Amino acid sequence: MSDDLRQHWALDPDIDFLNHGSFGACPREVLALQQRLRDELERDPVAFFMRSLEGRLDAARVRLAEFVGADPDGMAFVANATTGVNTVLKSIPFNTGDELVVTDQEYNACRNALDLVARNAGARVVVASVPFPLASSGQVVDAIVGRFSKRTRLLLVDHISSPTGLVLPVAELAEACRQRGVELLVDGAHAVGQLELNLGVLRPTYYTSNCHKWLCTPKGAAFLYVDADHRDGIRPLVTSHGASADASRRPRFRLEFDWVGTNDPTPFLCVPEAIRCVGSLLDGGWPAVRDHNRALALEARSLLCEALEVAPPCPEEMVGSLAAVPLPPANVRAHATLLQSDPLAEELFAKHRIEVPVVRWPASPERLVRISAQLYNRRDQYERLAAALKEILATEA
């Protein structure tokens, strides 16, 4: 089935692409729509931006809100989830002595933003250590809530951890935050398209997610959701015309976020087509897509664990379309960043044409291999990864 589905993506057929999670991959049909929109924009930029963009953004936002079970009035398009996290953190007037709780698995860029605003406000960052491997999601709740105090103002938490792929128990954490009067900022960078979302049920204070990852839109499309009680206090990172516009026609939140200067809005406008396109690739629509990808991720994880002779590091219910498997510690320390791959990942690519991230976590020399599963992937690709890892690790020993 995946061979037939692969034709919908422009990925290099000579590469085993097992890293959808980092930057996503956009189907050809969606890219074609984006190009048509860009052509239309360039035929008459004034008409596009000043006469039609507002209504088109509204329609795209409503469709996305339906998909994630959210109030569209609380939805704003942003470039990526890191922008969403920064937008919230830099809008909140933190006070000296406030405590901001985060896990030790938080995405580095967002952790940097938290550290900056805490330092500027005289607030304190409190780190909850989430174990990995682990036996149950309850360990995550206990680790995080156990770090709350009377001074806790906000919890920043991944919905799906970037280094380990863990699906964290955000619903339980949201309830714990409500009971204690703590604001909850969910970094759901990997969530939309990978998990079934219903923000109306989850009821976070703030939620942000990338559409370019598992929803498969063009790069540069993400959303920020803000609940009604906090909407007035959240301002975009860029102050533009909406800050002084007449708010009798449209809410201030809408006026400010929908125009932050001239940029390319076509990734946002492609969101409905991405929802339609990917959802049409399997009978059963998006539930079938999510189930297929999760089943493949679990199958691949099992295959790797068997080949590497390690136990699955977390329960199956904490796995979505990402899975991480521990590797033996490296014999050479290295510091890999988002744009600087681990030497093992580079060797896998150079010698075996396998694109997969190796994550130094929790710190070098400890490391994980993190696999993604998308409709275009097949079991034999993970078999080649397992064989390549065994070969390389044998030479490292």
Regarding pTM above 0.85, the answer is: yes
Q: What is the pLDDT of residue 328?
A: 94
Contact 198, 75 (CB under 8 A): no
Question: Of all residues in the chain, what percent carry a pLDDT higher than 90?
Answer: 92
Q: What pairing do the DSSP bridges indicate for beta strands 222-226 and 206-210?
A: antiparallel
Q: What is the mean pLDDT of residues 355-383?
A: 96
- The answer to whether residue 338 scores a pLDDT higher than 60 is no
Q: What is the pLDDT of residue 336?
A: 54
DSSP calls for 247-272: TTTS-HHHHHHH-SSS---HHHHTHH
Confidence of residue 2 (pLDDT cuts 50, 70, 90): low
**Residue 372 structure tokens:** 């993604």
Confidence of residue 341 (pLDDT cuts 50, 70, 90): confident
- The answer to whether residue 3 scores a pLDDT higher than 90 is no
3-state class (DSSP) for residue 224: strand
Contact 135, 110 (CB under 8 A): no
Confidence of residue 319 (pLDDT cuts 50, 70, 90): very high
Contact 154, 182 (CB under 8 A): yes
Q: What is the pLDDT of residue 4?
A: 87
Could you give the domains of the chain? Answer: 2-18+283-396 (3.90.1150.10), 30-276 (3.40.640.10)
Each residue's pLDDT tens digit, 161-180: 999 999 999 999 999 999 99
Confidence of residue 229 (pLDDT cuts 50, 70, 90): very high
Each residue's pLDDT tens digit, 32-48: 999 999 999 999 999 99
3-state class (DSSP) for residue 338: coil
- The answer to whether residue 123 scores a pLDDT higher than 60 is yes
Q: What is the pLDDT of residue 249?
A: 86
Question: Of all residues in the chain, what percent carry a pLDDT higher than 70?
Answer: 97
Q: What is the pLDDT of residue 333?
A: 66
**Cβ density class 233-259: b for 16+ within 10 Å, e for less:** ebbbeeebebeeeeeeeeeebbbbbbb
Q: What pairing do the DSSP bridges indicate for beta strands 152-158 and 99-103?
A: parallel
353 dihedral zone (left: phi>0; alpha: psi -120 to 50; beta): left
- The answer to whether residue 337 scores a pLDDT higher than 80 is no
Alpha-carbon distance of 315 to 336, in angstroms, equals 28
* Residue of higher predicted confidence among 301 and 249: 301
User: What is the overall mean pLDDT for the chain?
Assistant: 95
- The answer to whether residue 16 scores a pLDDT higher than 90 is yes
Q: What is the pLDDT of residue 334?
A: 62
| Unique residue bearing structure tokens 């596009």 | 48
Alpha-carbon distance of 94 to 154, in angstroms, equals 10
